[in-house]
Structure 1
Amino acid sequence: MKESLTREEMRELDRKAIEEYKIPGLILMENAGRNVAEEVLKMTDDPQRTKVAILCGKGNNGGDGYVVARHLHNHHVPVDVFLVANISDILKDGDAGTNLQILLPMKIPIREILGITEIASVLKELGSYDIIIDALFGTGLSGEVRQPFKTLIEGVNNLNKPIVSVDIPSGLDCNNGNILGAAMKATKTVTFAASKRGFYLGNGPVHTGKIIITDISIPKELLP
C-alpha cells in the first residue's frame, strides 16, 4: 500500500496547516479546486464544446466544486452546478459560502436539488454532459449516504460518463474502502496533499479510477 492517510490524519493535517501555519482555509480550497479544474482541462481537446456538470454537496467538498466551476468558466468551458442543498444555507457557511458567493455574479447556472422527486429529471439532464465532477462528499464521510444522494450517485454511475471525483469518490469510506450505501465510480480521483487509505482497501481500487495526488500548499513538514 502506498503512503496514505486516514480521515483522522487528514483532518489533523488540515488543522495544523490552518491553525499552526496560519494558512487560510480559503487558500487550501482555492488550490484544491484549481488543481481539479486543471485535470479536467486535460481531458478535452475542445474546452468550449465540453459540457461539464459539477455536483456539489453542502460541505467543503462542495466548496472545492465551486472553485472548479469558476476556473473552468474562466477557460470558456460550459459549466453548470447542481447543488444538493439550498443556496441560502451555503452562503452562511465559511469558505464554501465565500466561493459560492463569487459564482453568483458570474452568472454560472446553479440548480438546487432539494428532494428525491427531482432526481429522475436531474439524471436525464446529466445525460447531456460530457464530464461530471463529483464534489458531493469528502473524506470526512463515515455514515451511510442518505437520500437523495444515494439515488443520485447510483444514477450518475449508470450514465457511463467520465466522472472526476474531488479528493475522494463520494460515498467511499476514507479509512477502509467500504461503500457507505452508494459510492461514485470515478474515472479520475484528484486527491489533495496525500493519498487516502481507503483507495487501496475494500472497494477502493474499483471506485477511484486514476489517482492524481496534488499539492494544495500544505507544508511538506506535515506530510508523511
Structure 2
Amino acid sequence: MEILTGKASKIVDNYCINELKIPSLVLMERAALAVGECVTEICRQNKYNKVKIICGVGNNGADGLALARILCDDETKINKSDICVCIIGNMEKASEEFNIQYDILQNIGMDIIKIKDKEQFKEVIADGELVVDAIFGIGLSRDVNGLFADIINEINESKTKVIAIDCPSGLNSDNGRVMGVAIKAYKTVTFGRLKAGLVLCDGKNYTGEVVVRQVGFNELAYENLRKNYKEEVFNAFTKKDLKIIPERNPVSNKGTYGRIKVIAGSKNMCGAAILSAIAAYRCGAGIVEVLTHINNLPIVKGKIIEAVVNDYAEPFELDSSSIVVAGPGLSVDDMANNLIKKVLTSNCNAVIDADGLNVISKNRELLKMLHNKVIITPHIKEMSRLTDISCQDIRENIVKVAKDFSEKYGCITVIKDATTVIADYNGNVTVNLSGNSGMSTGGSGDVLSGIIGGMLSQILGIYEAACMGVYLHGLAGDYAKESKSDYGMIASDINDAITQILKYRNGEV
C-alpha cells in the first residue's frame, strides 16, 4: 500500500490534468460525488438536516461548491434550503475552477454567504448539524491566522461533526504538523491515496475516521511519481503482506529457524528479557538463548522453560551469522557498554533497543560502528539522545530524521511513535498503520524487539524484517485490544496475541 505526501498528491493531480489531459473539473466532480456519499450517509444515520459547507477560494473550496450542487440535485436526501454555503477569503484570488463552480451555483439560484467576520460566522453556524470543511485541503503552505484561524476555532468549539475534504484545514498534509490551528474532523475523505500528514505527528488527533476514495487519477500518474519523485512515496504494510513471511518447511528442525541471542536484563531487570525472548519464540524462532545478569537466571528459567539461559558476564560467541536482540533492560554501565560493542563488532544481524541505544548515545564512538545489518528501534526521546535533535522536531519531521540517520550510518532506523516510521539506507520509507494507544505500556518495546528478531530468524531481508516486525507488533496490539481494551492491555497481552495474528498469514482467520 502506498502513502503519499501532500506534495506528491499535487504532482499526481497536475500530471493527470497537464500530461494526460483529464479535465480538472472531471476530477473535481468525482471528488464531490465521493464526499456527497459520505455526507448523505451521516445525515441519514443521525437524522441531520442542516449542512454547512465552508469553502476557501482555492480548489478545495471548489470541491465544496461542487458538493453543494450535487447535494441539491437530490432533494430526497437533503433539502436545498437546508444547505448553507459559506465562502472565506478574497474572491479576487480565487482559482479558475472555483470561479466556474461559483457561477454554476449562482445560476441554479443557490444562496451563498460571504463571511466577513467571526461574529457573522457564529450566527451562520449556530444551527448547523454537520459542517463540511473545504477551506484549504492539502494546499496549505503557511500557518493559519486572522479570520481563517477564527473560523476554524469557531467550528471546533461548536462541537458539530465535521467532514474534511482531502485533509483537515490547518493540518500539514506532508508531515501532520498543525499549522497554528486545525479543524478537528469527525471524518476525512481523502482522494487517490492516503496522505502522510493524516497519520504522522498530530494527524490522528484531527482526522477522525479516514476514508480513501478513487476519483480518476490514472495509474500513469503514479508511475511517474514512483520514477521521478520516489522520496515523496512511502510504503505501508497490510494483511496481504503477511505472505512475505516464508511458509514453514514440512521437512525442518529447530535449526532451520535460527538461533536468537537476547542480551537483556541487568540486575533485577529480568522482565524485559522475558518479554523479548517470548516474542521471538512466538514469531517462530527455532532456539532462543537469553543472556542476562546472573541474579536473573532463576526467574528467566522459570518463566521461559524452552529457552537456553546464561549469564551475560560469561564468554559467549558471536559471528556474522548470529541474530541478536540487545538492550532491553540492560542498563548503561560498563558491562552494557562492552556487550553492545561486542555485538556491533561481530557484524551479526542485530536489533538494538532501549538501553542498548542509551549506551550508544553516551559513547558516540559506537555510532560509527553501526552497519547495514543493524536495526535500531528508538522511541522519540531515545532518538533525540542519539541525534541531539529536539523531540518536537523529530515528531514533526520523523520521516526525514529516520532517512537521514539511516543514510548517515548505514543501518535500519525504526522510530517508534503513535505512527512508527521505518527507513533504510537506500531512501526507502515504510509508515506503519497498525497498533493503538493501548500499546503505550511498559514492555511493549521489548516485545517489538523480540518480534523483529523473530522475523530475522525467518530469513527475511533486514529491512523487510523490521517493517514486518513493526506491523505484526501493531496487529497483535489491535487483536489484544478486542479482549483487553486499550485501557487494560499489558505487554504480555501483545505476546499472547502474536500466535493469533500469524494465522492471518495462512488465511486461517
TM-score, with normalisation over the residues of structure 2? 0.41
Shift of 1:11: 1.4
Report SS of the residue matched to 2:159: coil
String of CA shifts for 1:120-160, please: whole Å, max 9, x gaps: 23123212011000000021212011210001101100111
Aligned to 2:159: 160
Q: Distance in 1 between matches of 2:65 and 2:111?
A: 11
**CA RMSD across the alignment:** 1.9
Residue 49 of structure 1 and its aligned partner are, at CA, apart by 6.0
- After TM superposition, the structure 1 = structure 2 runs for residues 22-41 of structure 1, keeping only pairs within 5 Å, are 22-41=21-40
Q: Please report how far the alpha carbon of residue 176 of structure 1 lies from its aligned counterpart in structure 2 after TM superposition.
A: 1.0
Shift of 1:34: 1.3
Cα distance between partner residues in 2 of 1:13 and 1:145: 25
Q: How does 1:12-27 map to 2 (within 5 A)?
A: 12-27=11-26
Aligned match of 2:447: none
- CA distance in 2 between counterparts of 1:179 and 1:38 reads 28
Distance 1:172 1:60 in 2: 16
Aligned-partner SS, 2:121: helix
For residues 1-224 of structure 1, the aligned pairs below 5 Å read 3-45=2-44, 50-76=49-75, 77=78, 78-85=82-89, 90=94, 93-114=95-116, 118-223=117-222
Amino acid of the residue matched to residue 4 of structure 1? I
**Aligned-pair CA distance for 1:61:** 0.3
* Change beyond 3 A, Cα 1:10–1:184: same
1:57–1:122: structure 2 CA closer, same or farther, 3 Å change rule?
same
Where structure 2 has 5 or more consecutive residues not aligned to the other structure, the ranges are 227-509
* Mapped partners of 1:136, 1:55: distance in 2: 6
Q: For the structure 1 residues 201 and 110, does the alpha-carbon distance in structure 2 shift closer, same or farther, using more than 3 Å as the test?
A: same
Deviations 1:20-79 (A, max 9, x none): 211011111111111111110111228996110100001000000001100111122221
Tell me how far 1:212 sits from its aligned partner. 0.9
CA pair 89-221 structure 1, distance change in 2 beyond 3 A? closer
1:91-117 C-alpha deviation (Å, 9 max, x unpaired):
xx4111111110002222111113xxx
Equivalent-residue separation in structure 1 for 2:208 and 2:25 (angstroms) = 28
Percent of aligned positions with the same letter in both sequences? 32
| Matched AA of 1:68 | L
Rounded to whole Å, the distance in 1 between the matches of 2:207 and 2:148 is: 18
**Larger relative CO (CA 8 A, sep 6+): 1 or 2?**
1
Do the aligned residues in 2 keep the contact of 1:55 with 1:82 (CA within 8 Å)?
yes
Relative to structure 1, is the Cα distance of residues 69 and 48 closer, same or farther in structure 2, using a 3 angstrom cutoff?
Answer: farther
Question: Residue type matched to 1:34 in 2?
Answer: L
C-alpha contact (below 8 Å) 1:169/1:189 kept by paired residues: yes
Checking the alignment, whether the CA contact within 8 Å between 2:35 and 2:189 is kept in structure 1 is yes
Q: In structure 1, what is the Cα distance between the partners aligned to 2:143 and 2:204?
A: 20
Q: Distance in 2 between matches of 1:215 and 1:140?
A: 19
| Secondary structure in structure 2 of the residue aligned to 1:163 | strand
Cα drift, residue 87 of structure 1? 5.0
Contact 1:47 1:75 in 2 (8 A): no
CA spacing shift, 1:177–1:88, aligned 2, 3 Å: closer
Q: Secondary structure at the match of 2:60?
A: helix
After TM superposition, the score normalised by the length of structure 1 is 0.91
State the SS of the aligned residue for 1:217: coil
**Counterpart of 2:380?**
none
Distance 1:15 1:89 in 2: 20
1:87–1:112: 8 Å Cα contact kept in structure 2?
A: no
**2:28 match: secondary structure:** helix
Structure 2 residue identity aligned to 1:72:
L
* TM-superposed deviation, 1:89: 5.5
Cα distance between partner residues in 2 of 1:149 and 1:194: 27
Greater C-alpha Rg: 2
Quote the offset at 1:204 in angstroms. 0.2
Which stretch shifts more, 210-219 or 77-86? 77-86
Partner SS for 2:189: strand
Structure 1: state its 5+ residue gaps.
none
